Amino acid sequence: MKKILLNTIKLAAIASVLSLSSCNKFIDILPVGYGQIPTALSDYEALLRDEYGNHRTDITQAVLLLNDKFETSGNLNYYPLYKANYNWNESADRIALNNADEGTYYNMYTGINTSNLIIGKAAGTTGGTDAQKAELIAQAKVLRAFDYDILANYYADTYEEANAGTKLSVPLILSADIGAPYTQVSIKELYDFMLKDINEAIPALGATSATVLHPNLGSANALKARILLQMGRYAEALAAANEALKYNDKLFDWTTFYNTYKTQIEAVNVYSNAPSPMGFNYVENYYFRHGSSSNAGREQSIRVDRATRFEQGDARFASRWKLRTVGADTYYTSITTGYFNVGGLTTTEVYLIKAECQARLNDVPGAMSTLNMVRVKRIFAANYAPLSATNTIEAVKLIQRTKRNELILGITPFADTRRLNKDANYAVTLSKTEGGQALTLTPNSRMWTMPFPQGASKNPGNGTIKQNVDK
């Protein structure tokens, strides 16, 4: 665990000299100069804005395990852990292989360290009103809960009420001090803590915030809805989703976007067609978060067999990916460039949380109406027809089809698949043919929980870490 603190020394506690190399793209602000000790509220607010350190989520192994992206043979051969997850190798010792793929773990704890620093020190700063200080602390609590939710759904088993109190989750660190003690808490304790952070934050948050990197009431309630859905507390999750939608209920019209760029999109052998609409100003944003990088670029490529699971006439898919063959590889390549909110919170996710909660609470017509509100903005008019369902199981399956496609390349499809795999009504066995070999990943596979990286487990610092998987 010492490595976490060494990796985050650039965001160190007040007792240490602070030196931060900022990679901001959204707001290019260096929080404080080299050798300065932050004392003003504006210094801590600037720390929160650091995109590279605090608003970046690398969940590569989860996306590989789902086979939601196309991976090159070169990467599979070079990175044994990639190959193990991508090809569902149950015999692979992923603990031994996870000696370098540490981004998910340390990126999240870097953000947590920043949040802990703000929570612990912002109230005593100079400048700013008490309300402004309380708001910044509240924003840090939401971001801390967000980071812990990623960790919980990556390195620990999914939440199940029957065993959440006895299974271990991840280290709960509440201080930015170097050498601070910590405890690897149970899954239940971590989920309760995340909800506590959010509920404490909500009274101090505003309906709007300084930037899309600063949580507000919409993003806090959206995150609350996500966590409550993971816990199976459907009535509460529905209430939180409805509360989030009070602050933003907009949906982007992908059919209009496609028609705007149709000539370029349909041009033969042209693979750079349009600017990404999913950046900082995306109308669906509650909170923006990058994927593995904070640089402008393209999205990850999609496997051909994964592309078949999108609905026919899906304008969102057609606007973002295009079939391409390079040498022996055929895949769907990204055709938009810019920034992509694949790691944050959007209205689409909240609508689909709402839809599942309505279905679970036996309001199947209401659930399908909510689902179709999203679909009508995605499916070309020639292909669109409202969906209906006769029961909860049928409705949830249709909602999940849309949700997995809408939120592809983010953590939510992985978290949802793990959650639903615990219910025989929704559990799925993934299958594919790779190199002429038939491969499968079962719902009860140990591979659905990622091992802690060796850097963490071998250097636990002032605490202990127990692996949540056997290999």
Q: Is the model's pTM score more than 0.85?
A: yes
Residue 12: HSE in the Cβ half-sphere, 13 Å Cα cutoff? 21
Q: Are 255 and 246 in contact (CB under 8 A)?
A: no
Q: Which residue has the tokens 């160190």?
A: 12
Work out the number of other CB atoms within 10 angstroms of the CB of residue 207: 10
184 pairs with which residues across the strands? Answer: 171
Encoded amino acid at 177, one letter: D
Helix (H, G, I), strand (E, B), or coil: what is residue 83? helix
User: For the residues of 245-288, what is the DSSP string, one character each?
Assistant: HHH------HHHHHHHTHHHHHSTT----EE-SSSTT-TTEEE-
Q: Rounded to an integer, what distance in angstroms lies between the CA atom of residue 308 and that of residue 67?
A: 13
Q: Where are the domains of the chain?
A: 2-60+88-213+449-457, 234-287+297-338+344-409
Work out the number of other CB atoms within 10 angstroms of the CB of residue 173: 24
| CATH fold group of domain 2-60+88-213+449-457 | 1.25.40
Q: Rounded to an integer, what distance in angstroms lies between the CA atom of residue 209 and that of residue 25?
A: 18
Structure-block tokens of residue 399: 């909602």
Q: Rounded to an integer, what distance in angstroms lies between the CA atom of residue 150 and that of residue 147?
A: 5
168 pairs with which residues across the strands? Answer: 186
Instruction: List the pLDDT tens digit at each of the 471 positions of the chain.
Output: 444 434 443 443 333 333 233 333 433 333 344 446 789 999 999 999 999 999 999 999 999 999 999 999 889 999 999 999 999 999 999 999 987 778 899 999 999 999 999 999 999 999 999 999 999 999 999 999 999 999 999 999 999 999 999 999 999 999 999 888 899 999 999 999 999 999 999 999 999 999 999 999 999 999 999 999 999 999 999 999 999 999 999 999 999 999 999 999 999 999 987 999 999 999 999 999 999 888 889 999 999 999 999 999 999 999 999 999 999 899 999 999 999 999 999 999 999 999 999 999 999 999 999 999 999 999 999 999 999 999 999 999 999 999 999 999 999 999 999 999 999 999 999 999 998 999 999 999 999 999 999 888 888 888 899 999 988
